[in-house]
Amino acid sequence: MNTKNFLYISLFTALFATSCKKDDAPAYDSNVKADLSVEFDNVVGAADLALNTGSYTNAAGESFTVTKLKYYVSNFVLTRTDGTVYTVPQKDCYFLVDESDENTHEPLLSIPEGEYKTISFLVGVDSLRSTMDLSQRTGNLDPAGVASDMYWTWNSGYIFFKMEGTSPASTMMGEYMYHIGGFGGMTSSTINNIKKVTLDLTARGVPQVKSGKSTNIHLMVDVLKMFNGSSNVSIAANPMVMFDPYSTTIANNYSAMFRHDHTEN
């Protein structure tokens, strides 16, 4: 190879390498945090949930209304398309979705820029936080504040999921109440209804999280699945379920009520 050719080849290689590098240059800076909102859109089957006014029918053939729907989501973890995992700092990561308060429907997370393929979260409050000193349970977990309606005082612990309404099938003055909790017990082992939900985001739109943008993951939360699941829940048979062995059936059912509908990048 003569000198001239060598120079050409070197120059070409260098340019090519540079251009390649330029194409691979990260569009995302994982050192920069950006907003990602996760919308919990409560629905009943194919219909939007209308508190108090909407009437629906479950698999047991019982018609019902929903007068109250609240649940905790916490401990969000997101996995990038390259497989790396980001765990949202736990203390910023407890949200109470309350159907009657629109401001609670879209928890806002601050996560590193990037493209993400899965999201996972807990429905409920982890056992560690459930037993922490009261000074570590502020904001959405304050039993004198947001959590006052979602806390069992006689059997220390958070209520993870609360759904109430009316139904002619109920033998309890036409009402039903499901208050589901149980973190596994502090002084004795007992029921654990903490549910981990993991959703694939690739089929319905990978979120491209970038500073300056406001990416939104839109989840549909079908509360009909609380009734209709691997074991159908009947209002006539169980109009009221609180801290009770049967609560595990309800928790298993509602853990399947979340699905990714679309992403707004």
Partner 1 sequence: MHRKHFIILFIFVAGIAACSKDEIADVFTGFQKPSNFPNTVYHFETNPVTKEGFELGRKLFYDPILSANNTISCGNCHIPTGSFSHPGHSVSHGIHDRLGKRNSPPIMNLAWSPTFMWDGGIFDLDLQPVAPITNHVEMDDTLVNVLNRLRNHAEYPSLFKKAFGTSEISSNNFLKALSQFMLMCVSSESKYDSVIRNQTVFSSSEQQGYAVFRQKCSECHSEPLFTDHSFRNNGLSITSVNDMGRYPVTLNDTDKYRFKVPSLRNLAYTAPYMHDGRFFTLDAVLDHYTGSVQLTPNLDPFFLQGAQPGIPLSATERENLLAFLATLNDKNFVRNTLLAEH
If the CB atoms of residues 109 and 250 are measured against partner 1, the closer one turns out to be 250
Q: Which of 93, 109, 169, 191 binds partner 1 (CB under 8 A)?
A: 191
**14 backbone dihedrals φ, ψ, rounded to 5°:** -60, -45
Q: Does 238 participate in binding partner 1 (rule CB under 8 A)?
A: no
Nearest-approach distance from CB 130 to partner 1, in angstroms: 10
Task: With contacts defined by CB under 8 A, name the span among 1-9, 110-118, 132-140, 197-205 that binds partner 1.
Answer: 132-140
| CA–CA gap between residue 177 and residue 159 (Å, rounded) | 12
**Sign of the CA dihedral with 199 first, then 204, 207, and 208 last:** positive
Nearest-approach distance from CB 165 to partner 1, in angstroms: 22
Q: Does 15 participate in binding partner 1 (rule CB under 8 A)?
A: no
Q: In Å, how far from its chain's centre is CA 187?
A: 29
If the CB atoms of residues 47 and 186 are measured against partner 1, the closer one turns out to be 186
Q: Does 156 participate in binding partner 1 (rule CB under 8 A)?
A: yes
Nearest-approach distance from CB 173 to partner 1, in angstroms: 18
Q: Which of 61, 139, 145, 174 binds partner 1 (CB under 8 A)?
A: 145
Helices (H), the chain: 3-24, 127-130, 224-227, 247-254
Report which of 110, 118, 122, 30 is spatially closest to residue 76, judged by C-alpha positions.
122
User: Rounded to 10 degrees, what is the CA torsion of 168, 63, 196, 120?
Assistant: -140
Residue ranges binding partner 1 (CB under 8 A) = 131, 133-135, 137-138, 142-145, 148, 151, 153-156, 185-191, 243-245
